[in-house]
Copies of this chain bind each other. A is one copy, B any other.
Amino acid sequence: MIQNLIENIKKKDAPIVVGLDPMLSYIPDFILDEAFAAYGKNLAGAAEAIWQFNKGIIDAVYDLVPAVKPQIAMYEQFGIEGLRAFKRSCDYAKSKGLVIIGDVKRGDIGSTSEAYAVGHLGTVQIGRHAFSPFTEDFVTVNPYLGSDGVKPFIKICKEQNKGLFILVKTSNPSSGEFQDQLVDGRPLYEIVASKVAEWGQDHMGEDYSYVGAVVGATYPEMGAALRKIMPKNYILVPGYGAQGGQGKDLKPFFNEDGLGAIVNSSRGIICAYKKAPYSDTFGPADYADASRQAVLDMQEDLKQAYVK
C-alpha cells in the first residue's frame, strides 16, 4: 500500500492528503436542510449531511490528490450514525481510487491493539468467513505504550499489505510537554523516531517502509532532524495552512528524491469557501469548487518544498 500511495503521489504530482474532518458548522445550509428533511434533525440527519458534504469534496478533488484522511473523532461524536458516515466516506473515496488514511490515533496492547488493527485495516474472522468492518489503507497510531502497542498493528499490516503512521512529534503548541523532554540530551520524539525506523525495517516496500511517522508542519527544524533519523519512513505532515505551516517551510520533511512526505490540509481545503481569498469567488453552493481551487493552490505552494 505504501507503493500505491507513492505511485499516486507521483502520478498526480501532489504530496497532498485532504483531511476530511467535517464539523456541522462547515456544511452549507442546503446540504444540512436536505439531510434534516430526509432523516430528521438528529444523529442520522447530521451523519447524512456529513456524508453528502464529503461526497461533494471527494468528487471535486479525487483526480488531483492521492489520498484522504478522515479524522474519526469528527464522526464518532455522532455515535453509530456518525461512524456509518465515516465508513461510507472511506468506501466512496476508495472507489474513486484514493488511498485512505484513517486518522484514528488508536493504541493499546497485545490482543487489544490487534483488535483495532483488524477492525480498521484487516478482516475479522467469524466462523469460516472474514469480514472487513472498516476499510482504511493506513491508520495513525499513538506510540505511548511502546512496541507492545505497535507490533500487533504491524502484524496485521503485513498480512493485509496496509500501513501505519505513528505519532512522533505532533503539530499542537503543547506537544513539547512530553514529546520534547530531554533523555540523555535527546528529545523523546527522537527516541520515538528511532523506534519508528526500527519497526519500519520489519515491513518495507521498495524504497520506503509501510510504517511512517506523523511530524507536525509547525516544527520544520525538528522535521530536518527526524528526516535523518527516519530516512525510509514516510512522514505525514499535519498543521499546514490553518495551523500555520507553509510550503517553503516544509523542505526539511522531504528527501532528495522529492518523496518521503505527504502534507495534510483539512480546514484549509474543506472549508475554503468560507475564507479569503476563496470566499470572494465561491459561496456555499460551490463549496466543492472552492475546495478544488484550494487543492490546486496548495499543490503549487508545496512545489517549493520538494521540486529542485
Contacts and interface: CB of A to CB of B under 8 A. Distances in A.
A90 to B, nearest CB: 11
A106 B103 CA distance: 12
B78 A133 contact: yes
Given A73-B116, A116-B77, A119-B78, A145 B127 contact: no
A80 interface: yes
- State the oligomeric state as a number of copies: 2
A181 interface: yes
Contacts of A192: 178
A233 interface: no
A134 B133 CA distance: 19
Given A80-B80, A143-B144, A112 B73 contact: yes
A47 to B, nearest CB: 10
Given A43-B126, A105-B106, A188-B188, A80 B73 contact: no
Point out which of A112, A173, A188, A192 has the most chain B C-beta atoms below 10 A from its C-beta: A112
A174 to B, nearest CB: 4
A126 to B, nearest CB: 5
Interface of A: 21, 23-24, 36, 41-43, 45-46, 71, 73-74, 76-80, 82-84, 87, 105-113, 115-116, 118-120, 124, 126-129, 131, 133-134, 142-149, 167, 170-179, 181-184, 188, 191-192, 195
